[in-house]
Amino acid sequence: MTTAHKILILTLLLSSFLFPQDEDQIEEKKSQLFLLRNEIAQLENELSQKTQKEKESFEALENYNKQAFLLNKVINKLRKEEAIQQKEITNLEKEIKSIEKEINLLKDNYAKYVVALYKKGTYNELESIVNAESLRQAVVRIHYLHKFSERRKFDLEEFKFKKQKLFSAKSRMEFEKRKKAQLVAEKKSDEGQLENKLDERRRVLSSIKKDKAELLKTLTVKKQSQEQIKSLIAKLVEEAERRKREEELRGNQLLASKDGEIVSETDLIEESDVGVEYSLNTSTFSSFTELKGNMLWPLHNGKIVKRFGQNRNAELKTVTVNYGVDISLKKDPNVRCVAEGIVSAIDWLPGYGSVIIVTHRGDYRTVYGHLAEIYIDEGDKVATGKVIAKIGESVDGKVLHFEIWNSRTNQNPEKWLAKK
């Protein structure tokens, strides 16, 4: 293959190198970001139309909570894209170093050839015949002269090709660096916007804490959200059960015969469109049940301020049921995952704000609520102790709402957390 052919092929492939991600994927991600930002703009517009008094209500607080949740989703998507870009840049840097090493080797070989010619001069086929001691020696010399000449031509072509390849790789890297810089700037802007929203919600929250009527609203929506959490858990359990049934059926179909032959993959049942796309397999994770009584606290040095079960509010004269526990912040605002698992849901619920649900081995799930910032995404595998979020502030103060579920049954977290 000539240098011209190689360069032509390289040029045709260049566009695919410049855009390592599938175009449909890129458009889908852009569409997701657009929808999220559009929803944020709508919420902001709703706030702008409220009176000053309405802007300090529980409804306004929930508006800010929802905006913070959506901004977190935008930032996490940008963070993932940034990681993809950095990986591509790292790979290109390695490729460039490798090409440069190959070019230097070709340069050295060609330099040795030039020096040899300078010292000994040219050596043509006629000289090979005249100086040969025999016809056989003359034929052998001519053969090796041809080979030597072809090798030098190949080296020259290879050198030109490597130079073009180096240019392409450097162009690709500059393109990826520009894309990454754009993502970083975009993420920084969104992080600034998130911080502003959190400041605004803190101001509204301070006002609500002094209003009993507004505080009663929070208890009402929390009761509704408890049922939503229960419903979310039930859906995740159903999804896991559905997948398990499909895996068993697929295994049975593989073992079954069809006219004496094993059933092919194309004959197997298709995956349902319902549910998440990522793997929910937790069989390789460490045991969750063995953690009982010795579980890591999701908040370092936290203290339980609202217990599992019924809780009476003397000031508001109400009795509420807590499906988990509320843990107050002492100093460290980082929320840690209590056990190895898969992030199976990230949602926003009135009264609880941003909520994360993690699935663990043995059909166990943990729930983390009242979050200000989230550092993981659905489908991520998380290790025990991994920081998954940062605690937010609710009408109850800086507390983390924490629940443990086994299938559809909620557990008392106090029986699981390590004793202090």
**Domains in the chain with CATH codes:** 3-208 (no CATH), 213-264+282-415 (2.70.70.10)
Q: How many CA atoms lie within 13 A of 315 on its CB side?
A: 9
Distances (CA, A) of 55 to 17, 86, 89, 185, 390: 50, 42, 46, 30, 25
pLDDT at 324: 94
Q: What is the mean pLDDT of the chain?
A: 79
Reported as a single tens digit per residue, the pLDDT across 60-84 is 888 888 998 899 889 888 888 888 8
Name, of 79-88, 101-110, 192-201, 331-340, the range with top average pLDDT. Answer: 331-340
User: Two tokens at 400?
Assistant: 């983390």
What is the separation of C-alpha 93 from the centre of its chain, rounded to a whole number of angstroms?
A: 23
169: left (phi over 0), alpha (psi -120 to 50) or beta: alpha
Reported as a single tens digit per residue, the pLDDT across 7-29 is 444 444 444 444 445 567 777 88
Q: What share of the chain is helix, strand, coil (3-state, %, to 5)?
A: 60, 20, 25
> Full-prediction pTM beyond 0.75?
no
The per-residue b/e assignment along 21-36, b for 16 or more CB within 10 angstroms, e otherwise, is eeeeeeeeeeeebeeb
Strands 334-336 and 364-374 come out as unpaired
Residue type, 116: A
Confidence band for 417, pLDDT divided at 50, 70 and 90:
very high
Torsion of CA 119, 125, 130, 135, to 10 degrees: 130
Q: For residue 419, what is the DSSP state?
A: P
User: Two tokens at 373?
Assistant: 């910032």
